[in-house]
Structure 1
Amino acid sequence: MQEISQEIDFSEQNLEQDINQDICNSVISIDDSRGETEGKTVCNLNISPAENTPKSRSRTEKKISYQKLNFDSSQTKITDFYKICEEIKSQILKNATLNKAFSTSANIFCENRQPEMLNNECQKLGPESFFEMLIRAVNKNSSESSSANRYPDELKNLCLYLFLTSGRLAYETLVANIPNGLPSVSTLSRSLSKNYEKCGEGELAFGQLKEFLEKRNYPLRIFISEDQTAIVRRPRYDQSTNQLVGYVLTNLEHTGFPKTNQNLINSVSNIKNIIENSDLAKNAYVFMAQPLQDGAAAFCLTLFGSNNTFTHEDVLLRWKYIQQETTNYNIVVDGISSDGDSRCLKAMKIIAGLPAFSKQETPYSPYFQANFDINNLVPIQDTVHIATKMKNRLLNEKIVLKMGNYEVSKDHLTDLINTVSKDKHLLCLSYLDSK
């Protein structure tokens, strides 16, 4: 047992040294625009797991197996392309057409930034790689104390995007493995609160929505979508609003939306009353406004906690209130969509007037007729759920799917795949597996 443990410890040490050496070797010199070569950049990166992380046997075995892998020492590295990137950068800056095209792309990248920051921040964006900024930040902050670390705004924005898309745990792991290279979570939080306006739980941001549309020259026409997703049931104290968040708020009778500023903290008895009489939210309910402009980003209209105990009447009240309030801001809601929630579908059925009976007999009446009014919003289930339901019905052998006067089944698609080449239908037999 002692020999085995020594072998494992030795393998772990060699692995960490090999990883550090590979990264240091990947940091090469970068030619400047005059073709002169600067000295090699010093690499102070130390790859190590997050502190206080227990080393399980499976993790140790993975490290040993990783060490046994044969890596080609001549493998192309990302930094090998720095010289090419520098040449591309030089050509972009010299060519007015390319420079204008890159500036347009930079403005698209900054689409969701505050409008007053677009001119200042986006003009700073140049054809510089993320790794160059990262290496420069590591070398600059390595000689300073951790409390004196400074990072450029461009790097903060990229890290903020990385944090929001990958999650806290993944980002903290990167920060632990690249010391002095990436800003901490607290730094990103300060940057987020400084540059972006906070919207409270249950508040509907109609004013911010209109500003969002006007600043970007989008038409004042939107499509509303709603959905909810599961969250960790945990209460928290919001210092900026002096509230307990994470609890289900009471809905207003005339809007269907929750009452804002309901869980304000004034005393200990107030906290006790909230904990004893309120339910923890298990879902986050989100309403998004999508501008009717190609490539436009969606806008979060409101967000609140839910325990999934609402009715189709609440859904109708919410849609009616959104339509009324947007009218006050000269914004037109062309339609509303949701997933396959039965309460939302029932509300859609009521708005569409299904089933609408026709005076003339048709093969499809009364089920496929609706009272359509071009001046009213159009309710629709999103196309992904519609296509998924149709696929499930088609692949279910117990259900007969009718299309007009014909009956279709899984066997028809099987014959199509076996008799017609794939370049015509782009299907394969694995697609017909209902699992």
Structure 2
Amino acid sequence: MLHSLISNSNLKISEVEFRFDELQNKFKNLNIQYAFGSEDMTRVIKKIKYDSIANTFVGFPTPLAHRIPIKEYYKTDSFDILKLWFSSIEKSSLLNVHMIQPLQSSSQNVIPSPFLLAAYGTNTTTTADDILQRWWYIFNQFSQRKIRIIGFSTDADAKYLRAMRLISGFFDSSPNLQLHQHPLAFKIQTTSQWP
């Protein structure tokens, strides 16, 4: 279904391509600056396909660099390297999808449609720390473009729930990532006296 949606929209998207600039243009046209992010994994049929536009092979689990997926990692002109990949690397069993939901401003009558930020093959080795670092990366990329991600949502997968606990500081914290100290962290202003 996702493939047919992309094919029918004349959208050119490559695996692991985070489309921050396209989304920035959409937000500028809609006069929007706030959004909500979501990430989810779904099972896929294990198969390898050749992407002739990017000259890459799609369907292997995308490796991470600093917990961010590496774009065009499986690119080669060597048949021997391709044979090595097929014999030594398991095919992706999951598709990881990042969506962005623009938030309607008070002057708009129509709710903006969600936006596919990125999609890529993965496997079950993803950790809550990987997820948290990706969310941090996405948040910072949008902040540089003057777009505010106000939160992330996902399903009830244990890895995502742990990432949400870490980011909120609820029953857990991450010693490597002190999000509450970031200048853009939400702050709750309380009064010194309650009525």
TM-score calculated relative to the size of structure 1: 0.37
Aligned AA for 1:239?
A: S
What is aligned with 2:150? 334
Tell me whether 1:316 sits opposite 2:132 in the alignment.
Answer: yes
Matched-pair contact (CA < 8 Å) for 2:132–2:163: yes
What is aligned with 2:20? 206
- Structure 1: give runs of 5+ residues left out of the alignment: 1-160, 166-187, 357-370, 378-435
What is aligned with 1:351? 167
- Structure 2: give runs of 5+ residues left out of the alignment: 105-109, 173-179, 187-195
Aligned AA for 2:48?
A: P
Tell me whether 1:277 sits opposite 2:88 in the alignment.
Answer: yes
Q: Percent identity?
A: 27
- SS of the aligned residue for 1:228 comes to strand
Matched-pair contact (CA < 8 Å) for 2:63–2:70: yes
1:306 shift after superposition: 1.2
Structure of larger gyration radius: 1
What is aligned with 1:376? 185
What is aligned with 1:220? 33
1:374 shift after superposition: 11
1:341 shift after superposition: 1.2
What is aligned with 1:248? 61
What is aligned with 2:103? 292
Match of 1:229 among 39, 42, 59: 42
Change (3 A) 1:283 1:355: closer
Structure 1 or 2: more helix by fraction: 1
Cα distance in 2 for partners of 1:238, 1:355 equals 44
1:337 shift after superposition: 0.8
- SS of the aligned residue for 1:274 comes to helix
Aligned AA for 2:143?
A: T
What is aligned with 1:265? 76
- SS of the aligned residue for 1:203 comes to coil
How many residue pairs were aligned? 173
- SS of the aligned residue for 1:284 comes to strand
1:287 shift after superposition: 0.6
What is aligned with 1:305? 121
Deviations 1:268-294 (A, max 9, x none): 112112212322011111010000015
Deviations 1:156-202 (A, max 9, x none): xxxxx9x947xxxxxxxxxxxxxxxxxxxxxx95xx4xx73412111
Cα distance in 2 for partners of 1:286, 1:235 equals 18
Change (3 A) 1:262 1:355: closer
Deviations 1:208-267 (A, max 9, x none): 11111122x2411110011111111111111112111111111112xx221111111211
Deviations 1:30-81 (A, max 9, x none): xxxxxxxxxxxxxxxxxxxxxxxxxxxxxxxxxxxxxxxxxxxxxxxxxxxx
Matched-pair contact (CA < 8 Å) for 2:103–2:111: no
Change (3 A) 1:346 1:306: same
Aligned AA for 2:123?
A: N
Cα distance in 1 for partners of 2:141, 2:42 equals 26
Cα distance in 1 for partners of 2:163, 2:80 equals 40
Matched-pair contact (CA < 8 Å) for 2:56–2:74: yes
Deviations 1:130-176 (A, max 9, x none): xxxxxxxxxxxxxxxxxxxxxxxxxxxxxxx9x947xxxxxxxxxxx
Q: Which has the higher contact order (CA 8 A, sep 6+)?
A: 2
Cα distance in 1 for partners of 2:85, 2:97 equals 23
Matched-pair contact (CA < 8 Å) for 1:334–1:376: no
Cα distance in 2 for partners of 1:335, 1:232 equals 31
Matched-pair contact (CA < 8 Å) for 1:248–1:281: yes
What is aligned with 1:429? none
1:375 shift after superposition: 4.5
Cα distance in 1 for partners of 2:171, 2:52 equals 51
What are the equivalent positions in structure 2 for 1:13-412 lying under 5 Å apart? Answer: 164=4, 192=8, 196-215=10-29, 217-253=30-66, 256-293=67-104, 294-355=110-171, 375-376=184-185
Cα distance in 1 for partners of 2:171, 2:51 equals 47
TM-score calculated relative to the size of structure 2: 0.79
Cα distance in 1 for partners of 2:42, 2:168 equals 27
